[in-house]
């Protein structure tokens, strides 16, 4: 049977890192066996509905290279793929489940759903007195116009068992399970009902979701069994943690995918890093494109211990990806950070210098501040023991440096470097006694991306000579 997985996000307005990982694993599980990946939007919780949120889901998945075979925009044979458009389809199944003995009519209203601070449903052991009302009597009350909901009926004796691909055998006493609402009085299904109906009707073979659903899965299994439908394979994922105690959570201000992109992380690095949060390839290798992952991913290598989101590791990985970009692509990605760069700057030279030296795109801003505006003169900066320089050395050498550079015809790093080395030789001083003062004069900073000659190329001849003149004047 062809594998069919689905990503069923609620449109909340951002892509939580844990959700993106779920989507990725669903996609990879399908693709690793030539299966289909389906996108279903679960928008029935109107309280949580956020304008534009569906576009964020589309854009995030597209940006990281997750393509869906069926979904609201691309269609498919099992639509509609937006839950609110499926509204009319649930009630007949709910009534059928009543007939089959897996649910009953309830006249006590809805009871507030109990949720914890993360918004997850709290499982309680509620046993509904209405399940004792004989079906014929219940039907009469409904015919007479009495409002009702449909609740799941659970025989509270014995143990429920199922096999999870990550957590193994799960056993839960039926007594623990809540006789929760499946169909509300307004005809809308609850998540607990809709997920079963939708997954069945869409032919989903593998249900992949967060481990917070482990304890409610026995309720879903009861429904699959009562309808006589095949249960899906379950793959529950451990949470992505911020530290040993806390889940990573957008509600607590932790980064979403969008935040990370805004902080200068590349989508391909983020997705590579996320893939390793709970899965390992079984080798030392860590750098994978999504296409490579789709070839080697296996459910067996998923880990049930929670993974800690390590921004230092992600930053390292992002640096690897930045260095591997084609030069033109890096130059393109750097453009938003070059907004304030003056016209005299050779932007391509700037990109060439930056690309090997940064780990996130936002680091560009701090690296180029001295290009945008030369910091105020500080004589102490010229002092450097290792380079054997100080303000006096700078005062002595800068005029000769200026003269050599002013006479330079070829303005590229190799030529400038050779010229300044030749100058050091001619003056009988160390290279550092030429290059270091030049770098300070051109940048006004102790640490810069690249050395004096790289900076000179970036600044161009005129600005280079202007900055040298200013330093010579300030030192005298
Ligand atoms: N809409 C649910 C969520 O965002 C989907 C859970 C599931 O995959 O069934 O948590």
Between the CA of 35 and the centroid of ligand 1 the distance, in Å, is 20
Enumerate residues 6+ apart whose C-beta is below 8 A from 418.
none
| Average pLDDT along the chain | 94
pLDDT digits (tens, 9 = 90+) for 405-460: 999 999 999 999 999 999 999 999 999 999 999 999 999 999 999 999 999 999 99
Selection from 424, 430, 437 nearest residue 382 by Cα? 437
Nearest CA to ligand 1 atom 3: 9
Task: Kindly state if the Cβ of 264 falls inside 6 Å of ligand 1.
Answer: no
> What's the pLDDT at 93?
98
Contacts 24+ apart (CB under 8 A), 327-332: 327/351, 327/352, 327/355, 330/354, 330/355
| CB 419 within 8 Å of CB 434 | no
* Cα–Cα nearest to 240, from 66, 63, 16, 65: 16
pTM, 2 dp? 0.91
pLDDT digits (tens, 9 = 90+) for 18-32: 999 999 999 999 999
Nearest to 331 by CA among 372, 361, 370: 361
CB of 209 sitting under 6 A from ligand 1: yes
Expressed in angstroms and rounded, the spacing between residue 449 Cα and the centre of ligand 1 is 46
pLDDT at 123: 61
Instruction: Decide: 22 in ligand 1 pocket, CB within 6 A.
Output: no
Q: What is the pLDDT of residues 105-135, one digit of tens each?
A: 999 876 666 666 656 666 677 888 899 999 9
* Ligand 1, atom 5, residue with closest C-alpha: 8
Ligand 1 mean position, distance from CA 195 (Å): 8
Ligand 1 pocket member 6 (CB < 6 A): no
pLDDT level of residue 176 (50, 70, 90 thresholds): very high
H or E element: which one contains 210? strand 206-210
Question: If you measure from the C-alpha of residue 88 to the centroid of ligand 1, how many angstroms do you get, rounded to a whole number?
Answer: 20
Name the nearest CA neighbour of 260 among 352, 359, 334, 339: 359
Max alpha carbon distance in the chain (Å)? 108
- Which contacts qualify for 334-338: CB closer than 8 Å, 24 or more apart? 334/361, 334/364, 337/361, 337/362, 337/364, 337/365, 337/368, 338/364, 338/368
**Cα angle 424-428-434, degrees, rounded to a multiple of 5:** 30
Q: Residue 119: what pLDDT?
A: 60
Q: Kindly state if the Cβ of 44 falls inside 6 Å of ligand 1.
A: no
Average confidence (pLDDT) over 293-315: 95
Q: Over 90: is that where the pLDDT of 172 sits? A: yes
Which residue of 121, 195, 206 sits with most ligand 1 atoms within 8 Å of its CB, as the best mutation to test the pocket? 195
Asked whether 191 and 42 are in contact (CB, 8 A), the reply is yes
pLDDT tens digits, 147-156: 999 999 999 9
Task: Name the 3-class secondary structure at 124.
Answer: coil
Q: What is the DSSP string of 10-30?
A: ---SS-BHHHHHHHHHHHHHH
121 lines ligand 1 (CB under 6 A): no
Task: State residue 133's pLDDT score.
Answer: 96
- Nearest 5°: the CA angle 274, 279, 280 is 110
Question: ∠ CA 322-327-332 to the nearest 5 degrees?
Answer: 85
Which atom of ligand 1 is nearest to 209's Cα? 8
Cα separation of 8 and 68, whole Å?
A: 12
Distance 95 CA to ligand 1 centre (A): 24
Cα 161 to Cα 84, 117, 164, 219, distances in angstroms:
32, 28, 10, 11
Which helix or strand (DSSP H or E) is residue 436 part of?
helix 431-443
Total length of the chain: 476
**With 90 as the cut, is the pLDDT of residue 346 above it?**
yes
Residues serving a catalytic function are: 250
Ligand 1 neighbourhood includes 9 CB (under 6 angstroms): yes
pLDDT of residue 50: 73
- CA separation for the pair 263, 432 (Å, rounded): 36
Cα 267-4-95 angle, rounded to 5 deg: 120
- What tokens does 297 get? 């991913």
Closest-lying ligand 1 atom to the alpha carbon of residue 7: 8
Number of continuous H segments (helices) and E segments (strands) in the chain: 18, 11
Average pLDDT over residues 163-184: 96
CB 281 within 8 A of CB 296: yes
The confidence score (pLDDT) of residue 115 equals 64
Tell me what pLDDT residue 107 has.
Answer: 95
Distance CA(174)–CA(127), nearest Å, equals 11
């Amino acid at each position: 049977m062809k594998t069919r997985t689905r990503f069923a996000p609620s449109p909340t307005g951002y892509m939580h890192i844990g959700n993106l990982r779920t989507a990725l694993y669903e996609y990879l599980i399908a693709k690793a066996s030539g299966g289909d990946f389906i996108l279903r939007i679960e928008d029935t919780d109107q309280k949580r509905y956020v304008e534009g949120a569906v576009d964020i889901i589309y854009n995030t998945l597209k940006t990281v290279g997750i393509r869906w075979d069926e979904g609201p925009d691309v269609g498919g044979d099992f639509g509609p793929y937006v839950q609110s458009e499926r509204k009319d389809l649930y009630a007949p199944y709910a009534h059928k489940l009543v007939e089959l003995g897996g649910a009953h009519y309830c006249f006590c209203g809805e009871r507030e759903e109990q949720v914890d601070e993360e918004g997850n449903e709290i499982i309680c052991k509620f046993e509904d007195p209405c399940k004792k009302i004989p079906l014929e009597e219940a039907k009469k009350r409904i015919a007479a116009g009495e409002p009702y909901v449909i609740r799941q009926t659970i025989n509270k004796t014995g143990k429920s068992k199922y096999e999870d691909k990550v957590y193994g055998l799960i056993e839960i006493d039926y007594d623990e399970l809540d006789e929760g609402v499946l169909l509300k009085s307004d005809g809308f299904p609850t998540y607990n009902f809709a997920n079963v109906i939708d997954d069945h009707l869409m032919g989903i073979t593998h249900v992949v979701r967060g481990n917070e659903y482990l304890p409610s899965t026995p309720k879903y299994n009861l429904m699959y069994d009562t309808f006589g439908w095949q249960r899906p394979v379950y793959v529950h994922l451990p949470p992505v943690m911020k530290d040993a105690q806390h889940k990573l959570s957008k509600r607590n201000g932790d980064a979403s995918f969008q935040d990370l992109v805004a902080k200068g992380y590349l989508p391909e690095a983020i997705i590579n890093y996320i893939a390793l949060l709970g899965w390992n390839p079984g080798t030392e290798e860590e750098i994978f494109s999504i296409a490579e992952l789709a070839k080697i991913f296996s459910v067996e290598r998923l880990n049930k211990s929670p993974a800690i989101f390590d921004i230092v590791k992600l930053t390292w990985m992002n640096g690897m990806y930045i260095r591997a970009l084609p030069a033109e692509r890096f130059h393109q990605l750097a453009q938003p950070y070059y907004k304030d760069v003056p016209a005299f700057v050779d932007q391509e030279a700037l990109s060439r210098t930056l690309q090997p030296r940064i780990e996130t795109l936002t680091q560009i801003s701090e690296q180029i501040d001295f290009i945008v505006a030369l910091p105020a003169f500080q004589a102490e900066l010229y002092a450097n023991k290792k380079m054997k320089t100080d303000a006096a050395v700078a005062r002595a050498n800068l005029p000769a440096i200026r003269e050599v550079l002013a006479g330079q015809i070829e303005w590229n790093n190799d030529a400038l470097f050779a010229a300044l080395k030749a100058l050091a030789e001619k003056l009988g001083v160390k290279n550092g006694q030429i290059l270091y003062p030049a770098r300070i004069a051109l940048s006004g900073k102790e640490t810069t991306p690249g050395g004096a000659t790289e900076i000179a190329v970036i600044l161009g001849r005129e600005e280079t000579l202007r900055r040298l003149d200013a330093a010579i004047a300030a030192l005298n």
